[in-house]
Amino acid sequence: MSSIGLGGRTRTAEDKRDRLLDVAEAAFCAHGYEGTTITVLAVEAGVTRPTVYAYFTSKDDVFRAVADRVRREFLDLQERVDTSSPERTAREGVTAFLAAWVRHHGMLTVIAHQALADPAVRTLRREILARVERRNAKFVERLVAAGLADPAVAPADFSRAVTGIVARAAEIVAENPQQASAQAQQIGDAYLRLAGIDAR
């Protein structure tokens, strides 16, 4: 990644922080949690260690900031989908969720790996997914109440199942990007059938 402009005056503090988070996500994916240090982040960002410390107090602080940005992106996706019909909302939602999961596949893998040994990261991982799953469950609950859905399982269980399907599809797409469209279509079809939503 290019570090051009990271230390320059043309970028705002927020721009510089975001750029450091971009570099950090790539570093955690390339080196893992243990192999990524503040020195590594500084070198790969083309800045000094004090510059990194100006934005983050520790490697753990950087890690949590990257994870939180992934969480916020997942939530933001749900705000931008077409809500003109349940089918469109479902299809656009899972397509966007899959694309974001593929985009952050490496970081999500690092988080999952760290969560095995670190209770704090385990909690963080749950937080990344919990709100997304709750929002999806509430969407299905509203459809059920309106007589527009008849899910095969309870909405909360359905929502967790969708997360698992998307996670597996993201692995496939990460290995073979040409599969993105087909996977999104298949997940959309599965979502509609499992949620009991009529395609219209």
pLDDT of residue 1: 40
Instruction: Average the pLDDT over 6-32 and give the result.
Output: 84
Band the pLDDT of 156: cuts 50, 70, 90: very high
Distance of CA 158 to the CA centre of its chain: 19
Higher pLDDT, residue 6 or 61: 61
**158, two tokens:** 């359905």
Does residue 171 register a pLDDT over 90? yes
> What are the residues whose beta carbons fall under 8 Å from the beta carbon of 33, sequence distance 6 or more?
63, 110, 113, 114
Does residue 6 register a pLDDT over 80? no
pTM of the predicted model over 0.75: yes
Task: Decide: 185 and 163 in contact? Cβ < 8 Å.
Answer: no
Burial class of residue 130 in the structure, from the number of CB atoms within 10 Å of its CB (0-12 exposed, 13-18 middle, 19+ buried): middle
**131, two tokens:** 């709100």
Does residue 3 register a pLDDT over 70? no
Calculate what percentage of the chain has a pLDDT beyond 70: 94
Calculate what percentage of the chain has a pLDDT beyond 90: 76
Structure confidence by residue, pLDDT tens digits, 42-86: 999 999 999 999 999 999 999 999 999 998 898 888 778 777 899
pLDDT of residue 7: 52
pLDDT of residue 74: 87
Structure confidence by residue, pLDDT tens digits, 107-138: 999 999 999 999 988 998 998 889 889 999 99
